[in-house]
Amino acid sequence: MDLATGAMGSLLLKLGGLLTDEYKLQAGVKEDVQYLKRELTSMYAALRKVGDVPRDELDVQVQLWADDVRDLSYRMEDVVDKFLVRVEGPKASSAAADKPRKLKRLMEKMGDLFTKGRTRHQIAEEVKGIKARVQEAADRRDRYKVDDVVASPAGSATVDPRLMSLYKDRKELVGIDEPLSNLTEMLTEGDTDVSRQLKIVSIVGFGGLGKTSLAKAVYDELQWQFDCSAFVPVGLKPSVKKLLNDILFEIDKQKHQDSILSSWDERQLIDQLRRSLATKRYFIVIDDIWDTEAWEIIRCALVDNNCASRIVTTTRILEVATKTGEVYKLKPLSHDLAEELFHTRLFGGKNKGACHQPAEVYEKMLHKCGGAPLAIITMASLLVGKPVEFWSKVYNSIGFGNEDNKDVSNTRKILLFSYYDLPCYLRTCLLYMSIYPEEHLIEKDSLIWKWVAEGFIHEEAGVGLYEIGERYFNELINKSMIQPVDSHPYDRTITGYYDIITGCRIHDMVLDMICRLAKEENFVTALYNNEQQAYTVHHNVRRLAVGDKNCLANTCMPQVRSFNVLSSDVKLPSLSCFQVLRVLALEGDTSSEHDTTCLEHLGKLVHLRYLGLRNINISEL
């Protein structure tokens, strides 16, 4: 199963299984299933070709045809799965102790035959309806000449292990020395006995420019000078309660590790923070602020205690930066530094002589990256080990020559091209990650098992599904699409744990891209803010992720395959409304207290393959 072809791959296998004698289909139904298998095999090939072309380059009619066929594949697989469950049923016991119950078992078997006969009649009716839709889709395929769609020559991607260590150490951050020196000077200026006031500096710049990297570098450089410190991400539409919790935990992990804080409201958390910081010289980084509302609440907790404390914030919005503190505008990399980073990524060094590309193409590629490290790394990732001809295709594909494009727009185009350069199976896995909100720490293990449950992992002889999924995960890291998170990165004394990748985060620019794509392709529907409370789950929503204050209590979801809840403020529907659910994840934050009555019908989810329960007070399943 993947993004481009929907459920077509697994459906074809199941249709082949239905044609065996085991299921005893009526003659007419068997002929219909054979017809469906032939037509869908042809459509499967067409969908794969369509999937290799960027959506905005497709004819609108072809887009509509592909969307309809993918939706049809899901509906057909749902029908087949329900049929298989009802016909196969539970296996009867063959134990000798059951002999006295022969008559009862015989009656039950006759009842099963009647029920299964009725089921076969029902599937016969549904197959006829599906056949009509498939015939209509086949006719439209011919009219729209879908088979003539030409795939983009993106080429195959290679995994480069050098990316893992490119930004591992601060010394390896290209172009970090000057801004780090400037920011350090701003923070330490006036740090004397005469002036001990709190100082706040805000780093501002567009996405992908390296604001977080700079903030982390200055944090690592200076935190030892302070009594306590914290580095806390914010993101779009943050939970202020969680932010306050995170700051308290960071400044004193031993004191605030108990779960009692989860029951406190914002006022209690602010009071506790003010008490904890009252006499301490602290250094706190608040990363990625999008508006002033969250900052004003956090600011109430960060007292000016005349101890020469320091706060650093990062934001993309100049207006927010000016309201938070003294502004430090992070500039794009200079041409020389951009070239150094480009060559470090491409060739492992600064030697420009290793590049044999035409000067015009080379210079315009660097220029269009706008000095943004993320754009440069993404661009270079596409070109590692690629021939000269491929560079020209990249040049044409991201709109070079259009001088009106802004840096952010160009970077997004580069990321989009990088996305289409991924193999289809990696695109599917990446888009599935749009179920997570901004700044969310994604655990590697749970993510991979969700991929497995959804059928995104392609089986290989002699290799476990998890191991294959882990390889997919590492490929996405090495293609700069996700950012790895290490376990115990600062504790070298924990044998066997240092530098073990346990999860990842998604850069805001990449997340924005995959959320848009997932929505356009109707692959994932994510509800993460109050404006979407009134959202109605449509009949064709297959994967649903919900966040704060969404009410789904009375929503019917017979078609949803993946249901992810990352908040405690969601009114959940009864599990009895799900009929084809594969993934159920109730994984809120540290303050989550889900109503456990929602698990009442868990045993009825006969297709369930992944169950994730976190921070739920349950005593039994």
Annotate 20-69 with DSSP letters as a single string: SGGG---HHHHHHHHHHHHHHHHHHHHHHHHHTS-GGGS-HHHHHHHHHH
Which stretch of 425-434, 536-545, 601-610 has the lowest confidence by average pLDDT?
536-545
pLDDT tens, residue by residue, 122-163? 777 777 778 888 888 888 777 767 766 654 433 333 333 333
Res 39: pLDDT? 83
Mean pLDDT of 420-428: 85
**Across residues 543-563, what is the average pLDDT?**
79
The continuous run of DSSP H or E covering 103 comes out as helix 102-144
Q: What pLDDT was estimated at residue 413? A: 67
Confidence of residue 313 (pLDDT cuts 50, 70, 90): very high
Question: How confident is residue 466, by pLDDT bands cut at 50, 70 and 90?
Answer: very high
Q: For residue 495, what are its two tokens?
A: 């044998």
Q: What is the predicted pLDDT for the residue at 357?
A: 59
Number of H helices, E strands in the chain: 20, 13
- pTM higher than 0.85 for the full model? no
- Specify whether the CB–CB gap between 613 and 265 falls below 8 A: no
What was the pLDDT predicted at 292? 83
- The residues near 307 (Cβ < 8 Å, ≥ 6 apart) are 196, 227, 279, 280, 281, 282
Query: Quick one: pLDDT at residue 549?
Result: 64
pLDDT of 560 above 70: yes
Please calculate the CA angle 574-580-582 and round it to the nearest 5 degrees. 90
The pLDDT, as a whole number, for residue 354 is 53
Burial class, 471, CB count within 10 angstroms (exposed 0-12 / middle 13-18 / buried 19+) = middle
Give the mean model confidence (pLDDT) for residues 30-50.
Answer: 82
DSSP-assigned letter for residue 329:
E
What is the rounded average pLDDT of the residues 164-168?
A: 37
Do residues 144 and 112 make contact, with C-beta atoms less than 8 angstroms apart?
Answer: no
* Cα 310–Cα 312–Cα 318 angle in degrees, nearest 5: 135
pLDDT value of residue 92? 47
Instruction: Calculate the average pLDDT of the chain.
Output: 76
Which secondary-structure segment (H or E) carries 72? helix 60-88
Cα dihedral angle (391, 518, 593, 578), rounded to 10 degrees? -140
Higher pLDDT, 396 or 375: 375
Other beta carbons within 10 angstroms of residue 111's beta carbon come to 10
User: Confidence class of residue 249 from pLDDT cuts 50, 70 and 90?
Assistant: confident
Contact 316, 289 (CB under 8 A): no
User: Mind listing the pLDDT tens digit for each residue in 504-539?
Assistant: 988 777 887 888 888 888 889 888 754 444 445 556
Q: Which helix (H) or strand (E) holds 584?
A: strand 583-587
Tens of pLDDT, residue by residue over 85-131, are: 766 554 444 444 455 566 555 555 545 544 555 666 677 777 777 88
pLDDT at 101: 60
* Residue 494 binned pLDDT confidence (cut-offs 50, 70, 90): very low
Asked if the model's pLDDT at residue 259 lies above 60, the reply is no
For every residue of 385-420, DSSP letters joined together read: T--HHHHHHHHHHTTTT-TT--HHHHHHHHHHHHHH
Per-residue confidence (pLDDT) for residue 498, from 0 to 100: 46
CA 455 – CA 68 distance, rounded (Å): 21
- What pLDDT shows up at residue 400? 46
Report the 3 state secondary structure along 141-199.
HHHHCHHHCCCCCCCCCCCCCHHHHHCCCHHHCCCCHHHHHHHHHHHHCCCCCCCCCCE
> Residue 610: what pLDDT?
94
Give, in order, the Cα–Cα distances in Å from 9 to each of 2, 192, 211, 583.
Answer: 8, 68, 43, 19
CA distance 563 to 75: 17
Q: pLDDT digit string (tens) for 335-367? A: 888 888 888 777 765 555 555 555 677 777 777
CA distances from 602 to 96, 297, 574, 599 (A): 32, 40, 9, 5
